[in-house]
Structure 1
Amino acid sequence: MVVLSLTQAWLWSNALLSLASALTLPSPNDLPKPKKYELTITWEKGAPDGVERDLFKINGQFPGPVLELTEGDSVEVHVKNKSPFNTTIHYHGIEMMGTPWSDGTPGLVQNHIQPGCDFLYKWKATQHGSYWYHSHTDLQIDDGLFGPIIIHPKPDTPNPYSLVTQDLVALDAIKSAEKHRYPLLLSDWRHTPSSQVWDIAEKSHIDLLCFDSILVNGKGKVDCLTSEQQAPLITRPQQTLLSRVNGSALSDKSCLPPNVLATLAEPGDLTPDPSVIPREIFNGCKATNAPLDVVKVVKSKNCDKEKWIMLDLIATFSMIQAQVSLDEIPLTIIAADGNYIEPKTAHSIPMVSGQRYTVIAKLEKPKKYTLRVSSTAEPQILFGSSVIDFQVEAEQQSPDPSVAYINERGANTTSDVVAFLPAQGKPFQAAPIPQAVDGTYKVVMRQAGATNHWALNTTPRPEYLDDALPLLLNPQPNVRNNYTATIPASQKWVDFIMLQPRSAPAHPVHFHGRHFYVIGQGQGAFNWTSTAQAAAALPGSFNLVNPPLRDTWSSLASQQGDTWLVVRRPNDNPGVWQVHCHIQSHLHGGMSMVLQEGVDALPPIPQEYRDPKCGA
C-alpha cells in the first residue's frame, strides 16, 4: 500500500487537473474562424480596352476581387450566380488537401451552379504564394470570370530572401514588400463573347486564333500596326505559314488569316471553311486609347531607406504565351506557381496560361516604368502594357520614357538582355523526390478531327459528365480507359509521360489536386516503357535531384518532330482530379482527362456536398 504525504497528494492533484485541462476540447468560440468571401457573379456591359461588350463581373468588378489569405487559414467562398449562365469556380493551383469536393470541376466534383443559385466552397490554405480563381465552365475565362488569390506565408515559413541579399535594410524592405504585394493578372482579350467565337469555330472547323488586345488587371488598349510596322516583327515560323497560301499577309489585327490557319488541318480532319468566319474576327482593327493599369509606389523620404516591390504575375491567358518584362529594372524571381525557388534575376520571363511567378525588384530612380507583355505565339503579333509609377517624396520624376528590354514580339532589344529559363526554377529547400515510382501512365496530346478539336489519348471529354452525378460522389474504382486513369492509393508516386506527335503547338499542361515535379523533357520519339529506362539512355534530359515543382508546365512545340514531357507526382490526396491543356479552346475542344486517385481511400464527403440545396 502506497501512502502519499499531503505535499505529494497536492502535487498529484494539480498534475491531474492540468492534464484534464489539456485534454479539454476548446469551445467553438475559441476555434479559429474561417476567412469568408462572397463572390456575386453577374453578366454586364464593360469596356476593358475601350470597346464595350458583355462580360462577367464579380462583385461588380472585372477582374474579380483578390482573395487575400494567410497560410493555414480556413477559407469559405460563397458564390452567388446572378448571371444567366451555369458556372463553377476552380481555385487554380490550390491543392485542396482533404477537400476534393471544393475543386470546382463540373461533372467531376460538383454540378453546375445554375442561374439564381449559390454554392459554398470550403477549403484550407495549406500553401502560400500566388494563385487565381476562375470559371471551369465552357470558355468563361475568355469572358472575364476570374480573379487573383494571394496567400501570405506564415511568419515562421522559411523564405529565400537571404539568397537575394544579406543587407539587413534590404531584407526589411523585401519583407515589407511581401506584406503589400501587387497581383498583376495578364490576359488576352476579344471583343466577341466566347460562345459566339466557339459557334464560329465549330462551323468553320478552324480555331480562331486572333485577339483584340492584352489586358493587365482588366485594363488595356487596342494597338493597330501598319504592314510596314508588322514587317520587322514577323518571325520565320510566321513567314513559313504565310507562304502556304500565295499572296497571304497578316491581317490588320496582325493575325495569320483564316485561310492560312485552315492549312493546319490534318489528313482526315473535317474540311475547314474560312468563308463562314465574320470579317471582324480577324480584321477591322480600330486603335483605342483606354487607360492602362497603374501601380503607384511611393517612397517616403524619411521612413523608407530602400524601396522594393513584390509583383505576382498571373497568366490568365486564353491562348497566347508571352514574355513579360519591366523596363530598365531586372526582376528577381523568387517563386513559381506559388512555390519558393532559388532566386534568379532576369530581364524577362516567359509565361503560358495558368502559370504564376512572384518577383521582387528594387526601385531607385523616380520614374514611370512600363511593364510589357508581348505574345510570342505564332498566330498573331499582340502586345500590351501597364505602368509602375514610382514616386519619391520631394523628388522630381524623370520625364523620360523607360527603355524596353523586349520588343512587341518578346524578343530582346539588346544582346545583353537575359531571359529567365523555367528549368532554372529549382525549389528552395527542396524535399528529395523518390528515384523510383509505383506506377507509370502514358498520355498522348493530339488534335482530334479538326483544328479546334483536341484530346488526351484518343477520347475527348465525354459531354455527359456535365449533367451526371459528379464522379466524386460515385467513383468507379475499376474504370481504366482512354479518358480515365484510376490510380490506387497503394501507388504512392506516379510518373506521367506526356507524348506529343509532330506538327502540334506547345500545350500548357495543368494538373488539379497536387503539384508535380518536372523531371524530364525532350525532342524525338519516346521509345522507353519507363522513366528509369529513358533516364539511363538520356541522362542529360532528366533531373531527379532538384527538378522544378509546378502545377502548370508547357510541353515543347513539335513542328520539327515528336516531343515528350515527364512529370512525377505524389498520390497522397485522394480525389477525382482533372488534367488538361490550359489553352481554353483546347480544353473546351476536348483536351482533358480524369484521374481517380486513391478513391479507395476517399475522405468522408460532407452531406452538404452530397445534397446541395441549389444548383445540383
Structure 2
Amino acid sequence: MGFFSIPFLPLLLVFITVSPLYVFAELKKYEWTISQRALDPDCFGTSYPALVVNGQFPGPAIRVTEGDDVEIKVHNECNEPTSIHFHGIRQYGSVESDGVPDVTQKAILPGHSYTYQFRAIGQIGTYFYHAHVGTQDDTVQGAFIIDSIDESIVNPSELILPKDNPQFRNANTSTYTHHEGPYGYDDEFTIELTEWWHQPPLLRADYYLGTQYTFDPAADSILLNGVTVFQNATVEERQNCPNHTTIDVLPNSTYRLRLIGGTTFHTYGFAIKDHELTIIEVDGELIEAYTTDHLEISPGQRFSVLIHTSAMEETSEDEDDDEPIFAIATSYRYRANATGHTDNGFGYLQYVLPSSQPDDDKSRSHPLDARSNIPSSHSLQKRAEVDDEHDDGKLDDDTADVSAAASPDDGKLDDDTGDVSAAASPDDDVDEDDPDAVDEAKRNAKLVRHPKPPKPTHMDFPSIPDPGNSRDWIWPNLKPLYGSALLEGEPDRTLKMRSWAITLPDNTTRYLINGRLAPMISDMQESQHSYLEAKLEYDGFEPIVGTYPIQLNETVDIVLQNVQSGQNCVYHPWHTHGHSHYIIATGEGEYIHELDKDKRNYPHSILRDVSPVYPGQVDPNTQGCGWTKIRLHADNPGLWAVHCHITAHMLLGKMFLLEEAVEYMHAYRMYM
C-alpha cells in the first residue's frame, strides 16, 4: 500500500468513514487476560512458568477487515508489568496504542488494565502482536490478519499466478474461493515460528541485563505453532505431549501459507519438501509473485506464499494410510557455530482426501488451526530416519545453558502442572487448582493428541542452502506490486545509526547508538516538544529528551551500521514502528556518506517493516562490518521506536526513537 500525506490524513479518515468500500467496516472488540502458566511445548519433561494470553500459547489469532476499528482491553493478572505491540500496524492517529513502554504508554502494572484502540487504515495482510516488555514476547504473541475489504470486487477471471511455475500451469483460477489483490487460492493456513528455552523467560531477561552476560544463548527448541519435540525427549515423554505440527491439505489445490517470524533471536531458513514457495506478500505488502525453494525469515518478519499440492489417487478405506506426508523444515542461518537443519524445528504437510477429513472441518481454515496428529513413537522413528546430517549432539558455544546459574529447582514446576491447553478448545477454561479438572483435561488431551498415525511416503527433509558469506538473499530480486515515487529523488535528510556493544563499569553490557546509551523516556507521548525548538547535535540527536526529530512529510534515509564488537560480526534485523520502509542499498565495511550516498543495489525495493543488516567484511580502521540504508516517509506524527528485533539486543539498548512532527500529534489523534 502507498503512503499517506499527513496534511490530508483528516480527509483520509473522513473518506474511510463514508466510502462505499468501508460501509461494512465494524468495531471489533476483544478482551485479553495476561497470566502465568506452566508450559512444556517441546516434550522436555519439565514445565517452566511463562506468560500467556487468555491461557493460550500462541495467543488467540485476531482477524479483522480493512477499515475496521479494533478495541482490545488487556488485563494484567501476572506479577510483572506488561504491554502489547501490534507489529507492523502503523497506528495512524493512535500512537498511544503502539505498545512501547515508557515511550507511547506506561507499562500495564499487575492488577491493572489498558485498552488499545486503532483502525486498520490502508493495510492488509499478515501481522502479529507480541509483548514489548522483557522477554515476554517468547510466549505473549499471536497472529493478526487484516483481510482486504474489496475481495468481492475482484473479477475471478483477473486472478493471476506465476507463469514460470509449472505447478500452477493447470490451475483453474476461476474456481478459487479466496483472493487478495490479483492472487487466488483455495484455502489458507498459518505457521507461527517461535523459540523456546529450558528456562523461565524472566531468568533469561535477568541474565541479559546482569553482570554474568557473555553471549546470547541459542534456543533449545524451535516451535511451529507452539509445539515440537525436543531431540533428547524419551519415548515416555513423547507419549504425553503435543508432538509436531501437521497441516492437513487437499491434493491438487492452491494454498496460501502465512508464515510469521515470532522468533526472538535467530534467523532461520524454511522449506517444504517437494513444494515450491511463491512469495506474494512480505510484511503485509503484496509483491509481484516470486518463486523460490526456501525462505529466509528473521524475528518479526512475515511472508505469504502460495503452494500447490499435486494430484493424488483415491484409495480404498483399508489403504488410507498411504496419504503422502512432506516434511516442513527449518535451518540455521548466520549462526557462527551451527549450520544445516535445526534439531527439532520441523512439522509436516499431509495430503488427505475429502472423505478422510473430519465432518466438522470448515472450508476456510482458521489462523494457527494446525492439528498435531503424529504420535510420539512415529515421530521418533521418522526423525531418526530422515535426518542424518547432525553431529553427535555436542553443544556449540552459543547453545550453552545459562539456567545453570540458578538453583536446579528455580522456576521449575511439577510435571503434573504441565500445559494441557493444547488439547482443550480455546474456549474451555481449565481450573488448574482443581485436580479433577486437570485430570479430565489430560484425559481429553490424550484423545486429541494420538489419532491413527499416517504412513509417511516422503522420508527426507527439504534441502535448504546455507547462505555462507553471501548478503541480501533474494531480496534485490523482489518487486513491489505497486510502485512508489518515494524511491525517486534525494532524501531530505540522512541519519546514520552506528551501534556496538560495550561493558560498563558495573560489568553489565549495553549497546550504544552513536556512542550514547539509549535513554529511558517516560510518558513521551504527552510531550509537546517541537523540532522547531530543538538544538540538534552533529548526527541529528536532540539531547533533552533523547530523540532524533524529523519533520512532517520529510523523506528520511536511515543508515543502520553494523559494528564488530566481539569475535564475530552479527546479523541484526531492524524493525521500524509507525512506518514501513524501503531498503535503498546495502554494503560492506563502513558506510561513508561521501562515497556511498548515491549507491543503489536494490533496483525495485519492496515496502517492509523489518530489514536485516547482514554481517560483512570488517573495516580494519573502524570495525564497521556491513550496513543497510532504509528510506521512509514522515507521514505519521508520533514517537516511534526503531530497534533490533532480537529481543536481547533491544533490551541491551539497540534502539533509538524518531520524534516525528509531534506538534501535529494531538490534532490528528483518532481517539481522545
Counterpart CA distance in 2 for 1:181 and 1:130 is 12
| Aligned pair partner of 2:245 in 287, 293, 297 | 293
Residue 296 of structure 1: how far off its partner (Å) = 1.9
2:577 maps to a residue whose letter is H
- CA deviations 1:151-174 (Å, max 9, x no partner) are 112225889951425867245337
Change (3 A) 1:367 1:174: farther
Residue 138 of structure 1: how far off its partner (Å) = 1.3
Counterpart CA distance in 1 for 2:356 and 2:105 is 55
Asked whether 1:564 is paired with 2:516, we answer: no
- CA deviations 1:134-157 (Å, max 9, x no partner) are 011111113x11111111122258
| Aligned pair partner of 2:571 in 482, 491, 506 | 506
Q: Is the 8 A contact 1:475 1:599 kept in 2?
A: yes
Counterpart CA distance in 1 for 2:498 and 2:174 is 46
Counterpart CA distance in 1 for 2:614 and 2:27 is 41
Q: Is the 8 A contact 1:521 1:564 kept in 2?
A: yes
Q: How many residues matched? A: 497
Q: How does 1:101-250 map to 2 (within 5 A)?
A: 101-126=96-121, 127-142=123-138, 144-155=139-150, 162-164=160-162, 169-170=172-173, 172-173=175-176, 175=178, 180-201=187-208, 202-224=210-232
Asked whether 1:328 is paired with 2:239, we answer: no
Q: How does 1:76-91 map to 2 (within 5 A)?
A: 76-91=71-86
Change (3 A) 1:399 1:138: closer
Asked whether 1:472 is paired with 2:525, we answer: yes
Counterpart CA distance in 2 for 1:333 and 1:606 is 35
- CA deviations 1:86-127 (Å, max 9, x no partner) are 000000011111211111111111001111111111111121
| Aligned pair partner of 1:594 in 641, 657, 672 | 657
Q: Is the 8 A contact 2:25 2:66 kept in 1?
A: no
Q: Is the 8 A contact 1:109 1:471 kept in 2?
A: yes
Could you tell me the TM-score, scaled by structure 1's length?
Answer: 0.74
Q: Is the 8 A contact 1:346 1:420 kept in 2?
A: no
Q: How does 1:439-588 map to 2 (within 5 A)?
A: 439-449=493-503, 452-463=509-520, 465=521, 468=522, 470-477=523-530, 478=534, 480-481=541-542, 483-489=546-552, 491-502=553-564, 503-529=568-594, 534=596, 536=598, 538=599, 541-543=600-602, 546-558=604-616, 560-561=618-619, 562-588=625-651
- CA deviations 1:589-608 (Å, max 9, x no partner) are 11101100111221447698
1:542 maps to a residue whose letter is N
1:370 aligns to what? 327
- Point out the more displaced range, 359-368 or 570-579: 359-368
Change (3 A) 1:475 1:222: farther
Change (3 A) 1:214 1:119: same
Q: How does 1:358-397 map to 2 (within 5 A)?
A: 358-364=304-310, 365=312, 366-376=323-333, 377-380=335-338, 382-383=342-343, 384-393=345-354
1:60 aligns to what? 55
1:553 maps to a residue whose letter is S
| Aligned pair partner of 1:405 in 453, 458, 462 | 462
1:443 maps to a residue whose letter is M
Could you tell me the TM-score, scaled by structure 2's length?
Answer: 0.68
Counterpart CA distance in 2 for 1:420 and 1:558 is 13
Change (3 A) 1:497 1:386: same
2:29 aligns to what? 36
Counterpart CA distance in 2 for 1:436 and 1:420 is 26
2:353 maps to a residue whose letter is V
Counterpart CA distance in 1 for 2:483 and 2:516 is 36
- CA deviations 1:302-334 (Å, max 9, x no partner) are xxxx41111111111111111000111111111
1:8 aligns to what? none
- CA deviations 1:17-58 (Å, max 9, x no partner) are xxxxxxxx99xxx99531112221110112111131111121
Residue 292 of structure 1: how far off its partner (Å) = 1.2
Change (3 A) 1:97 1:436: same
Counterpart CA distance in 2 for 1:171 and 1:105 is 44
Q: Is the 8 A contact 1:452 1:585 kept in 2?
A: no
Counterpart CA distance in 2 for 1:442 and 1:607 is 32
1:141 maps to a residue whose letter is D
Q: Is the 8 A contact 2:177 2:185 kept in 1?
A: yes
Asked whether 1:352 is paired with 2:298, we answer: yes
- CA deviations 1:183-210 (Å, max 9, x no partner) are 2110121011222123334232312323
Secondary structure in structure 2 of the residue aligned to 1:554: strand
Residue 431 of structure 1: how far off its partner (Å) = 2.2
Secondary structure in structure 1 of the residue aligned to 2:211: helix
1:204 maps to a residue whose letter is Q
- Point out the more displaced range, 346-355 or 156-165: 156-165
1:454 maps to a residue whose letter is Y
Counterpart CA distance in 2 for 1:526 and 1:606 is 37
Bigger Rg, which one:
1
| Structure 1 residue runs without a partner (length 5+) | 1-24, 226-283, 300-305, 413-418, 610-616
Counterpart CA distance in 2 for 1:548 and 1:472 is 30
Residue 459 of structure 1: how far off its partner (Å) = 2.1
